[in-house]
Amino acid sequence: MDETAHARAAFREGLADITPGALRDHLEEVLEDASLTPGALTVATATALDGAVDRDLAARRGAGVQMSYEGLRLSRSLIRTTPWEHGDRESGDLDVIAAEVLVARGFEYLAHTGVALDVVEAVQQFGRTQTLREAPDCEAVPATRLEADFVRIAVEAGADVALESTPQEVTALAEALAEEFSADPLPTPDVVLADADRRLERLALSHDRPTAGDVSGSSET
């Protein structure tokens, strides 16, 4: 779908200048395997709240959210699988570097935006969660807190592009979607957006900016 294509293109563009080539190729593999739900949801939120929004800007924000999530998701996978203990040291080392690059590039894309601090808090929460999950009562720690955080951040990042703020009703929707779709792996973009698009359109009616439907309709006259 269109939102996913925009997010994927912006993600790929964000990898273009990364060297060496072997690392860039590995990051491309991460992109191919990724559920682009955070990036697509960012774009969908922005376009639902403002049909005239700069889609390239929305896609760049979506890529920033996606990169941050993918970097942390990759880190979590490394913690769970410990490839170094199974003779896969080279692949494990490359994944460590890839995770660091993705989080750093995500920060770069989201710096000075309304969700910059949210991403920092998500990274800090990720560290606390992984530490707590090593404790004997780790079952009490949500295994999908990372997914919930980035579904919420995706919606808020899209609103920040469209409205330059995150109204209370947007935050409420972001939290509701985070609760519904926090699974590992994340549901695919088409599953999430099939539900989110309808709710975002209703939310857009409470704002004065044109919806995507308004813009497409006016362009046909």
* Residues whose CB falls within 8 Å of the CB of residue 180, separated by 6 or more in sequence, listed in order: 195
Q: Which helix H or strand E contains 84, and what residues bound it?
A: none
| Domain residue extents for the chain | 2-205
- Collapse the DSSP code of 192 into the 3-class scheme (helix H, G, I; strand E, B; otherwise coil) and give the result: helix
Q: How far is CA 103 from the centre of its chain?
A: 11
pLDDT at 135: 65
d(CA 154, CA 44): 9
Q: Kindly list the distances between the CA atom of residue 120 and the CA atoms of 48, 106, 115, 123, 191, in Å, as whole numbers in the listed order.
A: 26, 11, 9, 5, 28
Q: Does domain 2-205 have CATH number 1.10.600.10?
A: yes
Q: Residues 92, 134: contact at Cβ < 8 Å?
A: no
pLDDT, residue 218, reads 36
Q: To 10 degrees, what angle do helices 116-132 and 89-110 make?
A: 150
- Tokens standing for 68? 């941050």
Over the Cα atoms of the chain, what is R_g? Answer: 18
Kindly list the averaged pLDDT for each block of 10 residues, start to end, along the chain of length 221. Answer: 90 96 94 94 96 96 98 93 77 93 98 98 92 66 86 98 94 96 94 93 73 42 34
> According to the model, what pLDDT value does residue 217 have?
40
